[in-house]
Structure formats: C-alpha cells, structure tokens
Amino acid sequence: MNRFEDLEAITRLNEPMAAHTSFGVGGRVSYFIEPRDWDELQLIYSRAAEDGLRVRVLGRGCNTLVADGDHDWAVLSTKRLTRFRREGNRLEVGAGYDLARLVARAEALGLAGFEALAGIPGSVGGAVAMNAGGRYGCIGERLVSAVVAVPGHAPRWMLAGEMGLGYRGSNLIDGRPFLFSATFELDTAVPRQLQERRRFIIQEKRASQPMDARSAGCVFKNPKGTSAGYLIDQAGLKGTSVGGAVVSHKHANFIVNRGDASATDILQLIGIVVERVVEKFNVRLELEIEVWTD
C-alpha cells in the first residue's frame, strides 16, 4: 500500500538512504518525500499521523548516519524548499537551500557574516538545527527568526532566542518542530574581502580535515575544554578500522567510508573509539552526528 499515492510526483518508495547521506551508507526507507510547499508539507504530516508512521526530516544528509536495514519511516527531504528573499541586510532562506550556495550568494551581494560557514556542507535547515559552525563562529549568530511547522497548526514564527541554540545543537533537531525557512541579519562589506576570508577558511579546513572523503564531518562533540580529535588521536586510534570504515589519518574526529562501509561498520567503530577514549582519559565522548535507528 502506498500511503502517499496522491503525492506520487514527489515520493520515492523503498529509497536507499546511502544515496542521500554524505557517509554513503544506510538502509532503505518506505517513503522519501520532497515537499515543494507548505501545503504538501502539512499533508505529509497529517497523513503520517493518521497511519502512525514516523516522519524524519533530512536536509543534505551531511550529519546523519542511518542504520542498515529497512525502516518504515517517511523521510521528508527539504531539498525543494529553496526560497531566497532579500530585504536590505536581511535574507529569508528556505530550509533546503544549500549552505555553500548561501555563503557564495551572500558574498556576491556584499553581505558579510557567513564567512565562518565556508567549507561546511549541508542545508540551511540542518545548519540551523545543528547550529553549524567552526572556530570563527556559527550560523546562530546571524539568525533572527524562523518559520516553523508544528504538525496540524498554522505556520509559526519563532525568534532565534526561543530555539535553544547552543554548541552544535538546538531544539529543532530531527524536525521537531520543522524549520521551513530562516531569516538572517548580515552586515555589508566588499565582496572581494569576503572572498579572501572565505578562501582562507576553506584552505585552513582543507589542511586539517579530509574534506573530499565520504564522512559526516566531526563525529563527536568536543568535551568541555578539550578537543575530541585530540583525544582520539592521543588514544592511538587514527587508522583504526571496522570493515570499510576508518578513523581518518588527517583528523581523528572524522570517520571515513573508504567505499564499501556499512552503517553497522561505522557504528561499531564509534563504539570502539568511545570505549578506548574512556579507558585512556576517563572521558565519555558524545555524538555530534545524528544516528537514525528504529
């Protein structure tokens, strides 16, 4: 039975999540749906609620590890929610807008404030939910408000202060509530200067991170006062592997899919890393990536 027959144009059945995640692993989901507007979004939520079907929200899949096997979920992809509206120094951007594209577009418009996000893959919705960033800042610093969807209700405005944005997290994780679009306030600057800064940040990242490998970025959050990458490295774990999953030689907080890894390999490797870091430093690393299991 296809519960979303009337949304055929935007629905794929039994879709492999390996095709939609940067790790390139993960089992199949019953429904993979790409709503184009608010009405389709609401329809998906209400239909899923009627049938007791779990809805999970995916941006570009750059920070998500989906378990192997079959999952009876409706994965709601934000890919087609790509609104872009400028009003002076404010940008209202759809959840599915590509983050790298946003950084480039703001730069071309002479709008400053997104340079710290250079080189971070993902969607705007995912970046806000995770409060993505690096050593020069995070996306939350520029966020003013968002339009969110609470299933069965009209669109709701939320101010940045209500979203619980903190270090790599917020209360919007996994689409509860679902972020539809976000509004940012930027400064003005000369595009050339912004370009230089962006290039510098990307170069710096490229020197220390396996940017071209299949990964989900940093796997663990940094514990207070130290770096997860440093601890994993000092525990001698670089190069440790399970199946096709390996702890990166370039940056120890990255797990890389060498090509034939499964989600199970990655999960086992995560378990080994956590265990060894506890043994050596008595520190329990917490996941930064989102793991989707049944």
Taking CB under 6 A as the rule, which mask of x and - marks residues 238-267 in contact with ligand EPU? -------------xxx--------------
Region near ligand EPU per CB under 6 A, out of 44-52, 67-75, 87-95, 220-228: 220-228
227 sits near ligand EPU (criterion: CB under 6 A) = yes
Q: Which letter, b or e, does each residue of 175-203 get, where b requires 16 or more Cβ atoms within 10 Å of its Cβ?
A: bebbbbbbbbbbeebeeeebeebbeebbe
Strand 70-77 and strand 64-66: the pairing is unpaired
Q: Least CB distance from residue 62 to ligand EPU, whole Å?
A: 8
Using CB under 6 A, which of 5, 52, 87, 135 touches ligand EPU?
Answer: 135
Measure Cα distances from 53 to 56, 145, 170, 264 in Å.
10, 30, 24, 24
Contact between 22 and ligand EPU (CB under 6 A)? no
Helix (H) or strand (E) holding 8: none
Please pick, from the candidates 35, 96, 217, 244, the single residue that binds ligand EPU as defined by CB under 6 A. Answer: 217
Give the interface segment with ligand EPU, choosing from 28-36, 39-47, 65-73, 218-226 (CB under 6 A).
218-226
| 288 lies in the binding site for ligand EPU (CB under 6 A) | yes
Query: Is 61 an interacting residue with respect to ligand EPU (CB under 6 A)?
Result: no
Query: Distance between CA 161 and CA 140 in Å, rounded?
Result: 9
Q: Is 169 in the site for ligand EPU (CB under 6 A)?
A: no
Distance (Å, rounded) from C-alpha 96 to C-alpha 229? Answer: 30
Q: CB burial class (10 A; 0-12, 13-18, 19+) of residue 124?
A: buried
Could you tell me which stretch among 10-18, 65-73, 181-189, 227-235 binds ligand EPU (CB under 6 A)? Answer: 227-235
**Number of shown-chain residues binding ligand EPU (CB under 6 A):** 17
**Contact characters 95-134, ligand EPU, x per CB under 6 A:** ---------------------------------------x
One of 24, 35, 140, 229 touching ligand EPU (CB under 6 A): 229
Given 54, 80, 86, 221, the residue binding ligand EPU (CB under 6 A): 221
- Which amino acid would we find at residue 15? E
Cα–Cα distance between 116 and 119 in angstroms, integer?
Answer: 9
CB atoms closer than 10 angstroms to residue 268? 14
Q: Name the helix (H) or strand (E) containing 30.
A: strand 28-33
Other CB atoms within 10 Å distance of the CB of residue 19: 12
Q: Which residues of this protein are in contact with ligand EPU, per CB under 6 A?
A: 134-135, 205, 208, 217-218, 221-222, 227-230, 233, 251-253, 288
